[in-house]
Amino acid sequence: MLDFKGKTVLVTGGGVGIGRAIVEAFGRAGARLVVAEVDAERAAQVRDWLQTAGVEALVVEGDITRKEQVASLAEQVEARFGGLDVLVNNVGDSLMIFKPFDSYTDDDIDRLYAVNLQHIFRVTRAMLPLLRRQGAGGSIISLSSIEGFRGIPNCSVYAAFKSAIGGFTKSLALELGPVGIRVNQIAPESTETPQLPMSAMIGAEHREQIPNWIPLGRFGKVEDMAGAALYLASPLAAWVTGTTLHVDGGALAAAGWYRDPRGTWTNMPVMSGNGFNF
């Protein structure tokens, strides 16, 4: 069991899904938690869990896409805990905007930027003084997506912002390495969450096809991402920075290859013949 006693961890979007699982994982590991959550009901629910679990915590209801609320969040973290050891930038959303790029409006792009990238810049910048105050050993973890590493039709803007998180992660890792703060990202594939109930979205008659594109044969669980975050924030990853942890069941490694109905591997859906029978 990893021990985060005496460490202060901030998780944005920590009221539901992957964020909630990360909060609970760090709480069970002994950390002090700061949870930023935009939804009042979810904020109340995670506050109740933290109190019941006996976790020292600060739950801040607010919208981290608004710069004044990010500034307020930093002030509250400093007032309550004095510093910060781990920042988890968890918030992100496709906003269900799926359409050809030439159909995107400026508003579509601005909204996707705000919820997928801009807040990572703002929150990270606001928390850096608190991370630096704690000295070497700090960790910044951002949640990205497998879509930042492969093409996804009709979702180009979302994919572009997810890809940009990788460039930010690598560059910031170089800047902060000399002071002992590590910077990494987690890139999930489709994960079962209340916002995206993958199994319910795929009919039972099609679920047998899941292993055809995810080699480990299932969708991700929020606990998979929480475990990755614990690892990256822990001394086990003391020499890991500027990198991406792909938590995707092997989907990216498959790189477009999948098993066709005959059980052969192919990357050409219309290919005739026997396929590549590896």
Choose, from 104, 158, 231, 258, the residue flagged as catalytic. Answer: 158
The DSSP-derived string for 90-120 is: -----TT--S-GGG--HHHHHHHHIIIIIHH
The answer to whether 61 touches 37, Cβ cutoff 8 Å, is: yes
Q: Is 78 helix (H, G, I), strand (E, B) or coil?
A: helix
C-alpha 146 chain-centroid distance: 10
| 158 a catalytic residue | yes
Q: Kindly state the tokens that stand for 9.
A: 């961890």
Non-local (6+) Cβ contacts of 48 within 8 A are none
- Nearest by Cα to 241 from 137, 90, 127: 137
Dmax (CA) of the chain: 67
> Within 10 Å of residue 65's Cβ, how many Cβ atoms?
18
Q: What does the alpha-carbon distance between residue 234 and residue 77 come to, in Å, rounded to a whole number?
A: 21
Beta strands in the chain (DSSP E): 8-12, 32-37, 57-61, 86-89, 139-143, 182-188, 191-192, 220-221, 244-247, 258-259, 265-266
> Within 10 Å of residue 197's Cβ, how many Cβ atoms?
11
Q: Kindly state the tokens that stand for 108.
A: 């579509």
Q: Kindly state the tokens that stand for 260.
A: 């066709």
Catalytic site positions: 158
